[in-house]
A and B are shown apart, each in its own frame.
Chain A
Amino acid sequence: MLPTRSGLARTVLLATALLAGACATRPGDDDPEALAEFRETNDPAEPTNRAMFEVHEAVDRNVLQPVAEAYRDVIPQGIRIAIRNILGNLRTPVILANDLMQGEVSRARITLGRFMVNSTIGVLGIADVARELGVPGHTEDFGQTLAVWGVGEGPFLFVPLLGPSNPRDLVGQGVDLAINPLSYFGQGLLVDTAGWTQLGLTVVDTREALLEPIDQVRATSLDPYSTLRSAYRQRRGYEIRNEEDRGRVVGPSGVTGWGQGVTGPAGPDARVPPQ
């Protein structure tokens, strides 16, 4: 053992040891099929990721999921729809910036038009009037913009509380937070409160939308971790290619990074009724 007293150095050593012990074994060159699958899976840190997934599952079952269920049970559907619409409208400047950075002029025009209509006629975004008028929204984020610019996703990562991700999408989420217009209005209690409220509501709203999909995965998958990993990567590819235009069914709040399509708010009968 190296004779070090610095706490920082100790932490680095510990982290290195953990990471070194937690790397998935790369198959040898004598097994090309296994090697191809290893590359395709793109999860060199799988043991660490699986441990993070277990942490996330524990937090989710004890906190996130019960909160999301209570939110659905207590708050009437009309108000939940309004909240999702407001959150979607608040995200519009970020979506617009990313539309433009990707050179998607016609999509940017849609985003801008929706923002103007929904902020005025829709009363601060409470109602998604533009959608009623046949102009549904779409989602964009900086992770997608990086992908359009040719940046690779990097190795798969599972981040507790955040869910499936990768270095590119994590950077993207940081940039999206930084260009959130709510953060422009300086400091102060009111601004902080607004920011935290938006973040908290986004988490609850997203988890509420994912109640059925996650239940489905837990009930039917032989290995939920690999199902979520595969679904997240496929879903991100679909979002990056803007394929949701084909079906014209898109989530209003444009929540991203969860590997699941968040569409409209689920109604009371979306859950399996007890019989």
Chain B
Amino acid sequence: MTRQAAFQPHMSAMKRRLLLSAPVLAAGLVALSRPGRAEIDLARATAFIQQAGNELVAAINDPRLDLVTRRERVAATLRRTIDIEGTGRFILGRYVRQASPAELAEYNRLFDDIIVRNLSARFGEYRGVHFSLGRSQQRTEEDVLVNTIVERPNTAAFSLDWRVSEINGQPKVVDVIAEGTSLRLTTRSEYSAVIQRNGGRVAALLDAMRNQITQLAAREGRG
């Protein structure tokens, strides 16, 4: 918003005339009101992340909870917060159309399991964690990037961006970006590599995912 305000005085006379002309204005209005894309409000997205973050931190730092309960609480919050199905579809990318309906259903089930296990195992270990909103929150074309700083005792703070979109009228997280590395982009390249290196078969990815769940479950059992 401040950027727009700063931009106004610099606008050249020609641009101003152009903007005032009716056809351009009409085209702009049409572009703005394009249906199907729900614009999400910056303040709403920020409040949403703050609330979800507080819930996560409360679960992680509660001294009365044991590790298993802590992970369950974290998992429940993650399921409420993240658009798991949409993110899974983004990650599978062009292979969504190559997968059979049965494969797609199985993929959705496995992906939900993996992302929740992975994230809750990671966050569940962050005892003494503290999080705060970062300096700048950004609008992008379709969604909002909410920046947070995560601090743990004796460890360097790191920056975590949450990409928030409006899904069916509700704000949801569609990506987590750690110090510039997007989880959904990295995972997409990883899943696509597994499929390509196995003759383009989605079934090979599903096998690898099942395998990983077994390993994650074994680690949780040890933890």
Contact = CB atoms under 8 A, between A and B. Distances in A.
Given A246-B134, A247-B147, A247-B149, A267 B185 contact: no
Nearest to B121: A220
A246 B147 contact: yes
B155 A231 contact: no
B94 A33 contact: yes
A220 B118 contact: yes
B89 to A, nearest CB: 15
Contacts of B192: 37, 226
Contacts of A227: 186, 189-190
Contacts of A77: 154
Contacts of A223: 190, 193-194, 197
Contact of B155 (A222, A237, A267): A267
A230 B186 contact: yes
Interface string B150-188: 001111111100000000000000000011111001101
B223 A243 contact: no
B76 to A, nearest CB: 21
B153 A247 contact: no
A269 B153 contact: yes
Contacts of B194: 222-223
B52 interface: no
Given A231-B181, A261-B179, A247 B154 contact: no
Contacts of B190: 221-223, 226-227, 230
Given A246-B134, A267-B154, A235 B180 contact: yes
Interface in A66-105: 77
Contacts of B191: 222
A238 B179 contact: yes
Interface residues of A, number: 41
A226 B159 CA distance: 23
A27 B44 CA distance: 44
Contacts of A261: 158, 178-180
Interface in A201-232: 216, 219-223, 225-227, 229-231
B135 A268 contact: no
B135 A248 contact: yes
A19 to B, nearest CB: 20
Given A227-B186, A227-B189, A270-B154, A246 B181 contact: no
A244 B178 CA distance: 11
Interface string A225-267: 1110111001101110001101111010000000011011111
Given A216-B122, A226-B190, A269-B154, 4 more contacts: A223-B190, A230-B185, A249-B159, A266-B156
Interface of A: 33-34, 37, 41, 77, 216, 219-223, 225-227, 229-231, 234-235, 237-239, 243-244, 246-249, 251, 260-261, 263-270, 272, 275
Interface of B: 67, 93-94, 118, 122, 125, 134-136, 138, 147, 149, 152-159, 178-182, 185-186, 188-194, 197, 205, 208-209, 212, 215-216, 219, 222-223
